[in-house]
Amino acid sequence: MTRDIYALEIPRENLSASAGHHPAIVLISSVIYALAATASTNAYSLLTASLLPVSLVKRVKLSALAKLNLVNAVMILTLALTWPTPAGRGLYPEVKAGLIMGVIISLRVNMIYIAFSAMVYPLGIGGMYEALCFMRVPENLRVMMIMTLRGINILRERYESAIISVRLRAPNIRGVMRLKIFAAMMGNVLLQSLERSENMMKAVKCRGGFSGFMQCGTHAVKFGDVVYVMCFAFYGIIIAVMNYA
Amino acid sequence: MHISEGILSGGVLALGWAGTVAGVSYGLKKTNPDRIIQTALISSAFFLASLVNIRIGPSSTHMTLLAPMGLILGHAVFPAVFTALLLQALLFGFGGILVLGVNTFVMASASLAVYVIFGRAIRESSGRTRVIVLSFMAGAFAVIIAAVIAGMFLIMTDSDFAGAVKILLIAHIPVAIVEGAVTSFLVIWLKRSVPEFLS
């Protein structure tokens, strides 16, 4: 388990659909699934690929799924009106090809979103850090990820107070002035982030620099993890076979 | 600006990841380890700023702030955008993991292009009007370039996306104008208050 200074550890039992498995294995497995789902173009492969998301959909927020499908609806409409056919562009019957393409893409978007939402996103930052460690991602990048997260928490308060003061002082500003105030607000937060980062860097240096700043997890890949990823590989192969059969 | 999961083909996704890995490696190599925290905090400031909803007329928009990111972070923009988009996917479910390589490449390469093309000119300009014009061009250019690169990825997946790409480009014109205005205001503010930020 990672031993970091911001207590980003997550208990294994919270890993939801991937409980107990190494985060890197979960990430790799879901990427295998997503790749297979992305390549699905016919009804058989889409149906096969939909088995996993159907079993996981209970773990996903329906409001998020609804927002996603709102965007999908715009995409379907755009493709329906722009997809070329031998007869040219335009409305019905040419609209049919674009409509079908849009629906296929929407199905894929939903399937992959559900799979990632139920499997990868619950890993959180701690799990993702461990997965990146496993994949030998450079320490500088991992530190940057953790520090960015820390910065988001620190600077969020600054933005919130800046937005409140703008609302109180000038509630009815319009047009270009609104953009000007946004730019000044951002400039202030950037300045504060510069000062804060200098102090943080001094603190890190006082503690011996980045070396071993955050240690990688000690979890080894177990036999169960290998079986898990193999199952996903097999599932991916079945989806691909259904697609090309 | 985000391309969703499930749209791009495997080959195009691989191409995006290859470009992102190269860009991130180059960015990390060029970034002084002492500036890692600074880069991370500036990246968080941009991340949060991009979540602020600005009401313009009957509609509202979120800024991408690609040009200011490029002008301030320079070569470090690739790792900064990568971490920001990864966190965005993990915290809010925006974008995605599989398409992270393509989305990073789209945004970071536009920012880097702004840094390479406009960075020096903006730093060395002293006249207010000249800085405003250059920054406006940089802000608008970043959005258009990002949309063009995103469109190229879509067309590489399937040339039949060409019609949708045209609509994508047209839809980004007003965004480019707003981004250009915000970039010029921000650059003017930075040049007056903290000029070392742009160096």
Per-residue pLDDT at A80? 84
Q: Over the stretch B106-129, which tens digit does the pLDDT of each residue have?
A: 999 999 999 999 999 998 888 889
pLDDT (average), residues A221-244? 88
Query: Quick one: pLDDT band at residue A8, thresholds 50, 70, 90?
Result: very low
Per-residue pLDDT at B143? 92
Per-residue pLDDT at B107? 92
- Closest CA relative to residue B146, chosen from B46, B31, B63, B30: B63
Q: Over the stretch B36-62, which tens digit does the pLDDT of each residue have?
A: 888 888 888 888 877 776 666 656 667
Per-residue pLDDT at B106? 93
- Rounded percentage of chain A residues whose pLDDT exceeds 70: 84
One-letter identity of residue B122: I
- At residue B20, the 3 state secondary structure works out as helix
Interface of A with B in 214-233 (CB under 8 A): none
Torsion B124-B130-B135-B140 (CA) sign: negative
Closest-CA residue of chain B to A36: B10
Query: Quick one: pLDDT band at residue A212, thresholds 50, 70, 90?
Result: low
Q: How far apart are CA A98 and CA B39, in angstroms?
A: 43
Å from A17 to nearest chain B CA? Answer: 16
Per-residue pLDDT at A235? 92
8 Å CB contact between A119 and A204 = no
A105/B7 touch (CB, cutoff 8 Å), yes or no: yes
Per-residue pLDDT at A10? 39
Judged by a CB distance cut-off of 8 A, whether residue A166 touches chain B is: no
8 Å CB contact between B156 and B12 = yes
Nearest to A148 among B47, B178, B181 (CB): B47
pLDDT at A14 over 50: no
Q: Please, what is the Cα angle at A217 between A205 and B98, to 5 degrees?
A: 100
8 Å CB contact between A122 and A131 = no
Mean pLDDT (chain A) is: 80
Q: What is chain A's length?
A: 245
Residues in CB range of B106: below 8 A, 6 or more apart: B1, B3, B16, B146, B149, B150, B153
Per-residue pLDDT at A91? 56
Each domain of chain A, given as residue ranges in start order, spans 12-131+217-244, 138-206
Query: Quick one: pLDDT band at residue A9, thresholds 50, 70, 90?
Result: very low
Mutation pick from A45, A148, A164, A172 vs chain B, by most beta carbons of B within 10 Å, is A148
Q: How far apart are CA B161 and CA A218, in angstroms?
A: 46
A241 token code pair? 């076979």
- Rounded percentage of chain B residues whose pLDDT exceeds 70: 94
Q: Over the stretch A101-129, which tens digit does the pLDDT of each residue have?
A: 889 999 999 999 898 888 888 887 778 88
Q: Over the stretch A160-199, which tens digit does the pLDDT of each residue have?
A: 888 888 888 877 777 788 888 888 888 888 888 888 888 8
8 Å CB contact between B52 and A182 = yes
Query: Quick one: pLDDT band at residue A23, thresholds 50, 70, 90?
Result: confident
Which chain A residues touch B40 with a CB distance below 8 Å? 143-148, 150-151, 197
Which residue carries 């058989």 as its tokens? A44
Per-residue pLDDT at B78? 94
pLDDT at B14 over 80: yes
pLDDT (average), residues B135-160? 93
A144/B80 touch (CB, cutoff 8 Å), yes or no: yes
Q: At what angle do helices A95-119 and A23-38 cross, to 10 degrees?
A: 170
- R_g (Cα) of chain B, nearest Å: 16
Nearest to B87 among A34, A149, A176 (CB): A149
Q: How far apart are CA B78 and CA A150, in angstroms?
A: 19
- At residue A84, the 3 state secondary structure works out as coil
Q: Over the stretch B87-97, which tens digit does the pLDDT of each residue have?
A: 888 777 777 88
Quickly list DSSP for A50-80: THHHHHHGGGS-HHHHHHHHHHHHHHHHHHH
CATH topology (fold) of B10-198? Arp2/3 complex 21 kDa subunit ARPC3 (1.10.1760)
pLDDT at A6 over 50: no
Quickly list DSSP for A204-241: HHHTT-STTSSBPP-PPPPHHHHHHHHHHHHHHHHHHH
pLDDT at A90 over 60: no
Q: Please, what is the Cα angle at A177 between A171 and A183, to 5 degrees?
A: 100
pLDDT at A4 over 80: no
A132 token code pair? 């990146």
B161 token code pair? 């996306």
Query: Quick one: pLDDT band at residue A13, thresholds 50, 70, 90?
Result: very low
pLDDT (average), residues A131-145? 85
